[in-house]
Structure 1
Amino acid sequence: MKKTILAAAALGSFSIVAQAQSSVTLYGLLDAGITYANKVATSTGHDSLVKYGDGVASGSRWGLRGTEDLGGGLKAIFVLESGFSTGDGTSGQGGALFGRQAFVGLAKDGIGSLTFGRQYSFSTDYIGANYTMGSQTPAGNYAYHINDLDQLTSSRINNAVKFSSANFAGLTFGAMYGFSNSTQFAGTPTTTGTGGTQGSSSTYSFGANYATGPFGIGAAYTNIRFPNGATPAFSVSIANINTLGLRDLETFGVGARYAIASGLVFANWTHTKFEPLTGESSKLNNYEIGGRWALRRRCRRAWATRSRSSTTASKASGIRSTVRSTTRCPSAPMSTCWGSTRRRRAATS
């Protein structure tokens, strides 16, 4: 009887919000182009490739964001965000209707917000959104870490309860818990089987960020558990995870940035540990440093991006990637963005 009453109360709360919206915003982003790649490996050697590029710098999406003023600084909020392909119109994130974000909750001035649903982890919110090449320049997808192993790009957690604090003189912090998160890995729903207890398939994440004036620094920790073993589609080999399945992913990161005149420098470091279903664990360290500046103020928004990356399975040399961006405006002023990322995989423990 108690469960029935609680369920009815929750549905009733959602109905009130849905029927009394005071502000609803429709937003979106379309990203498409032509992609050219040379030296593509084929069965007969190497060849060049020209193809339609969907989500070249950022994934296409549309969404609804709503708020309802309840008085006394209290608001009801919701976000529904859908990713899709401009090439064929299909939904992204494994075909989910609102695979990017889907949550509802309450926000209180001076305290923060408490939200429920599919949401970003604090690794994405605090480190990925503030201290990476992808977030600080128009390099976008070209600058993301390989496979998003450290969860900085799109770590979306299902069935999550999330508290995000208000801004206290530049300081924000938060914590999240995901119930039975058995269908999520690195932003892509992945079926991991049935069974297992609620606690053994949970996810939790927490972090803090401080930003004042030209300076900002943040840190975050995320732990995702897969009791029945996820099989992530890594394009780089991480221990035995690709073939035997992943039981646990644990990542910690810290990032910082500082604005200098008309430019900005930033850096981040992440440490990620993978626990396969069987065999030894594997660890991965990412180091990234970069910056942007405008030689003339008129050209801050004009960019062109070039990326160069290489990978190796050798534990001694690790995995490396370098990204550089440069552009020249028609009227001659120039803006430049630069950065490099170094990834080293530690010996298995």
Structure 2
Amino acid sequence: MNKKILTTAILASVAGAAHAQSSVTLYGLIDAGISYNSHVKNATGGSSSYWGYGDGVAQGSRWGLRGAEDLGGGLKAIFVLESGFNSGSGTLGQGGALFGRQAYVGLTKDTIGSLTFGRQYSFSTDFLGGNYSIGGNTVAGNYAYHFNDIDQLTSSRINNSVKFTSVNFSGLTFGGLYGFSNTTSFAGAPTTASTSSSRAYSFGANYGYGPFGLGAAYTDIRYPGAASPAFTTTIAGIGGALLDLRTFGIGGRYVAGPATVFALWTNTLLSQIGASSYLYNAYEVGGKWAFTPALSGQLGYTYSRASGLFGAHWNQIDAAVDYALSKRTDVYLLAAYQDASGTYKGQPVQAQIGDSNSSIFQPSGSGSQNQVAVRVGLRTKF
């Protein structure tokens, strides 16, 4: 009888160990609320106020599966499948792709890093967007990220990509990515961005030591209008079909007790097909303060400037209060103000808070060069 008990215990322990070597996790979040904007372009091109249901402002709503299999010797097989959706309509995000946020498989070694294949984030998103930008550090989220994610801080997802990301070497992490176009070369000079012609590469490094953090990233996307979903090349009423998008940025962060301060600069060159290029620079400073473990206040300022074909300037202030009801659920109040100045083709430059690619807001419309946005939101994670 004792032998039977011992055998059963051994088999149970072996089965438990085998189970522990592999894991699959279901995760996600939903961010929903009510949004207001003082000036939004209407059907006639003019300016109107807007009230509506808003999805995915602090963070985009998503669900996903994450898995790992222990292959022994510190080597693991990993995968991520992540789908974005709109909680108001139930429709898929990212142009309707089933796993439009992320879809990759690869290997990771605990002393070297990971090599992955699929649809993945560029290092502008990995190292800059989540660590040093106002959008990534506060519930301002997609209101604080720059027009249509022009500098690739939040939704720079590269199809058909091969990506290496190192482990942490005494505070230093680095990596590189290449995204294949999966098409033959163009014959002659193209006049439009052809379907599935977008290729990309990205590099980045991040260093953290105690309360300090410093990061830099470079991303180049050929024919960004052919990406999936397509990059909208019209930014606050400016621009045309793009041949190339090149962006570089550097950011820093410091944490002191309940306070966190951060700063970021990005430099983005937009080369148009059959036309001149123009340069976009964005400068951010921001901070947040934890009044209690549950309550925090957040404040940020961004100055943006475009040059080349025109001269245009945008000033934006973001302020928010966030209250955690639990470790998984929080409520927040967000306000943003943006003022634009300058002209393009003889017309006043428009303001634009957020990302018109995801239909958060449109430009301010003719007759207005500013926007005020207010948002009350609820976010829960699982």
TM-score category (smaller protein): 0.7 to 0.9
Query: Aligned-pair distance for 1:218?
Result: 0.5
Aligned to 2:213: 216
Q: Do the aligned partners of 1:246 and 1:274 also contact (CA within 8 Å) in 2? A: yes
Query: Aligned-pair distance for 1:157?
Result: 0.3
Identify if the C-alpha distance between structure 1 residues 124 and 342 changes in structure 2 by more than 3 Å, giving closer, same or farther. Answer: farther
Identify if the C-alpha distance between structure 1 residues 27 and 282 changes in structure 2 by more than 3 Å, giving closer, same or farther. Answer: same
Query: Aligned-pair distance for 1:236?
Result: 1.8
Which range is displaced more, 130-139 or 106-115?
130-139
Partner deviation per Cα, 1:88-120 (whole Å, 9 max, x = no partner): 211110000000000000000110000000000
Aligned to 1:253: 249
> Aligned partners of 2:165, 2:116: CA distance in 1, in Å?
8
> Aligned partners of 1:271, 1:67: CA distance in 2, in Å?
37
Structure number with the bigger relative contact order (C-alpha 8 A, sep ≥ 6) is 2
Query: Aligned-pair distance for 1:305?
Result: 8.7
> Aligned partners of 2:223, 2:175: CA distance in 1, in Å?
23
Q: Do the aligned partners of 1:37 and 1:50 also contact (CA within 8 Å) in 2? A: yes
SS in 2 for 1:124: helix
Identify if the C-alpha distance between structure 1 residues 22 and 227 changes in structure 2 by more than 3 Å, giving closer, same or farther. Answer: closer
SS in 2 for 1:30: strand
Query: Aligned-pair distance for 1:149?
Result: 0.4
> Aligned partners of 2:213, 2:121: CA distance in 1, in Å?
20
Aligned to 2:23: 23
Partner deviation per Cα, 1:291-325 (whole Å, 9 max, x = no partner): 1113x3344x4558999999999944522222122
> Aligned partners of 2:140, 2:196: CA distance in 1, in Å?
41
Read off the aligned partner of 2:58 and give its amino acid letter. Answer: A
> Aligned partners of 1:251, 1:312: CA distance in 2, in Å?
13
Identify if the C-alpha distance between structure 1 residues 41 and 125 changes in structure 2 by more than 3 Å, giving closer, same or farther. Answer: closer
Identify if the C-alpha distance between structure 1 residues 115 and 60 changes in structure 2 by more than 3 Å, giving closer, same or farther. Answer: same
Aligned to 2:314: 319
User: 1:290 and 2:282 equivalent?
Assistant: no
Aligned to 1:66: 67
Identify if the C-alpha distance between structure 1 residues 89 and 305 changes in structure 2 by more than 3 Å, giving closer, same or farther. Answer: farther
Query: Aligned-pair distance for 1:260?
Result: 2.1
Identify if the C-alpha distance between structure 1 residues 220 and 307 changes in structure 2 by more than 3 Å, giving closer, same or farther. Answer: closer
Unaligned runs of 5+ in 2: 1-19, 184-191, 326-331, 345-382
Read off the aligned partner of 2:50 and give its amino acid letter. Answer: L
User: 1:163 and 2:155 equivalent?
Assistant: no
Indicate which of 175, 189, 200 corresponds to 1:203: 200
Read off the aligned partner of 1:86 and give its amino acid letter. Answer: S
Aligned to 2:273: 277
Q: Do the aligned partners of 1:82 and 1:99 also contact (CA within 8 Å) in 2? A: yes
Read off the aligned partner of 1:225 and give its amino acid letter. Answer: R
Partner deviation per Cα, 1:9-52 (whole Å, 9 max, x = no partner): xxxxxxxxxxx981000001111112223344545965433212
> Aligned partners of 1:280, 1:172: CA distance in 2, in Å?
36
Aligned to 2:358: none
SS in 2 for 1:94: helix
> Aligned partners of 1:129, 1:293: CA distance in 2, in Å?
18
Q: Do the aligned partners of 1:288 and 1:342 also contact (CA within 8 Å) in 2? A: no
1:30-69 paired onto structure 2 within 5 Å: 30-42=30-42, 43=44, 47-69=48-70
Q: Do the aligned partners of 2:288 and 2:298 also contact (CA within 8 Å) in 1? A: no
Identify if the C-alpha distance between structure 1 residues 337 and 30 changes in structure 2 by more than 3 Å, giving closer, same or farther. Answer: closer
Aligned to 1:140: 141
> Aligned partners of 2:249, 2:173: CA distance in 1, in Å?
16
> Aligned partners of 1:62, 1:328: CA distance in 2, in Å?
23
Q: Larger Rg: 1 or 2?
A: 2
TM-score (normalizing by structure 1): 0.76
> Aligned partners of 2:120, 2:196: CA distance in 1, in Å?
24
Percent identity over the alignment is: 56
Identify if the C-alpha distance between structure 1 residues 338 and 41 changes in structure 2 by more than 3 Å, giving closer, same or farther. Answer: closer
Which range is displaced more, 140-149 or 111-120?
140-149
Aligned to 2:112: 111
Aligned to 2:365: none
Read off the aligned partner of 1:62 and give its amino acid letter. Answer: W
SS in 2 for 1:134: helix
> Aligned partners of 1:344, 1:38: CA distance in 2, in Å?
17
Read off the aligned partner of 2:32 and give its amino acid letter. Answer: A
Aligned to 1:3: none
Instruction: Please tell me the root mean square deviation across aligned C-alpha atoms, in Å.
Output: 3.9
Q: Do the aligned partners of 1:207 and 1:219 also contact (CA within 8 Å) in 2? A: yes
Aligned to 2:88: 87
Identify if the C-alpha distance between structure 1 residues 126 and 139 changes in structure 2 by more than 3 Å, giving closer, same or farther. Answer: same
